[in-house]
Chain A
Amino acid sequence: MRIYRYLIPGLFLFAGFLLFAQDAEGDKLKPHYHEVNAYVEENESCLKCHGEVKYTLEDTLYGRTVTQAMWSNLILDRDAYYSGVHRSFMCTDCHSSEFEEFPHSLDVRMEENFGCIDCHGYDETFADYHFEEIEVEFTESIHNMEGFSCWKCHDPHAYKPNMRGTENIKEAIQLNNSVCLDCHGNFDNFMLFTDKEEINVVESHNWLPNQVAHIRSVRCIECHTEVNDSILIAHKILPKTEAVKRCTECHSRDSRLMHSLYKFQSKENRRGGFMNGVIINDTYVIGANQNIFLNRLSIAIFALAFLVIVFHTILRIIKLRN
């Protein structure tokens, strides 16, 4: 029996050691990273700082070492990176190899980053995405300002298609809107691009009935972009004075949502009889989701009731005269 007295705590200790050992190794480099990227080890020379919340700065002259916090915008999440569309890349595929020197020189830090169009433009492989048209839309957009680029909304280190082929449109909407609110709901980011005063998105949308329901069910860009039939997500952000404010643009038979949010969804036939049926997979839009059969049936029943009343009235008049 005595052995059990030591065996059970021993097992716990061993299990604890295993857990600790696993944690101690850090497992920052998960096995699947190697499955999607051949340069994981090389990338670590960047991520040992840019994948952490702090980094160490060494002063070789005086032999001092200083630990500093990494600016949050320069921290890269390994999991997000190795599951994003650019997961197979080496850091220096897009960034200068001069970044390998540390501290980075000012010249290299001022390096101009690639835009989407630089790699994806005019390439048949990406023809379906119409990057060229997106570029045109962006240049006509109110976002076309000094210092603004694709990366301000789309993080190339974590980018995944959101709307295209999504099964969960509510989640996609939330993610899409969070991109806008990252600046328009956070003055710290907003002020980097403009000298305008702080805006209050909730107050400026007070005119919108059921504001919460709207923000949950549609993307900001439904009203703040010009509809474009050939690209999935419109990129021509309009000045606020040109944003859609007419309810019937969405709340009507020819709902704008069918040309924007639900444009590429092919579930139309799933909800027989409903106008703009794909919308009711997720929500109900007054005016846009009329059911043709029920519309006709209700009109027929009303007409029938009315005819019976007219017939009954005429008979009463005739009989009263007699």
Chain B
Amino acid sequence: MTKRLYLYPVWVRLWHLLNAVSFLLLVLTGISLHFITSEGNSLIRFDISVVIHNVAAIILTFNYGYFVIGNIVSNNGKHYKNWRKNLAANLWKQGMYYAVGIFKKESHPFPVTEDNKFNPLQKISYVLAMYLGMPLLIISGLGLLFPETIAYTVFNVSGLVLTAMLHITMGFILSLFLLIHLYTCTLGEKPLTLFKGMIKGYHDSHD
């Protein structure tokens, strides 16, 4: 029997869409800026990349604030809590499912419910990405947008270098997260089930 769960309210879907678009633009322009040659060869022209990167970053920052406030005022925040409970055992169980169980057509070890829309692996990665990675990325990015606010030196190393390294590292880690996130979203009942859920708001759960 198929049960329809309304897991992604409109505000979450809007936030997610805006986050996805701005983050993709940031990744593309960030790579363009980082790997540019002196002839200006890159994915996107340098000056255009700068403008897109700055605009997308500001959108992402405000959107992040919208996400945090949304999670506080709605009950969506509950999905990002209690992530430490039986963490090791649950991660192992979920990991084994992805590594072995999925090929044996075993059922999901942590089926999606209204109170638990994320499996333990999703939960910890989303918590780390949204509450650790994103703030570090945004703060370091704002530092680079307003470099006069950065400390000139920290322990005899240029503050700008440290900020840039933190920004690039977080950008890389979150891009890696995006790649894995996109793939794990194909691991629903059917490859497109979870994508459709994020578009329509409903998750189809089979008992």
Residues of chain A touching chain B, judged by Cβ–Cβ distance below 8 Å, are 170, 209-210, 212-213, 216, 246-249, 251-256, 280-284, 286-287, 289-291, 294-295, 298, 301-302, 305-306, 309, 312-313, 315-316, 319
29 interchain pairs, CB-CB under 8 A: A170-B152, A209-B50, A209-B54, A213-B147, A216-B148, A248-B36, A248-B38, A249-B38, A252-B38, A252-B40, A254-B38, A280-B158, A280-B161, A284-B160, A284-B161, A284-B163, A284-B164, A284-B165, A287-B34, A287-B36, A287-B46, A289-B164, A291-B165, A294-B168, A295-B35, A298-B172, A305-B180, A306-B179, A319-B105
A302 touches B34 (CB 8 A): no
- Residue among A254, A255, A309 having the largest count of chain B Cβ atoms under 10 Å: A309
Contact A286 B164 (CB under 8 A): yes
B contact set with A: CB distance below 8 Å = 33-40, 46-47, 50, 54, 98, 102-105, 147-148, 152, 158, 160-161, 163-165, 168-169, 172, 175-176, 179-180, 183, 186
Distance in Å from the Cβ of A295 to the closest Cβ of chain B?
8
Q: Which residues of A contact B39 (CB under 8 A)?
A: 248, 252
In angstroms, how far is the closest chain B Cβ from the Cβ of A216? 8
What is the bound-complex CA distance between A309 and B160, given in angstroms? 36
**What are the residues of chain A within 8 A of B165 when measuring CB–CB?**
284, 291
List A contacts of B168 (CB < 8 A).
294
How many Å lie between the Cα of A213 and that of B164 in the bound state? 14
Give the 8 A-B residue pairs with the shortest CB-CB distance, closest first. Answer: A252-B38, A254-B38, A284-B164, A248-B40, A247-B46, A213-B147, A319-B103, A287-B36
Q: Which of A247, A280, A312 contacts B50 (CB 8 A)?
A: A247
Which residues of B are found within 8 Å of A294, using beta-carbon distances?
Answer: 168-169
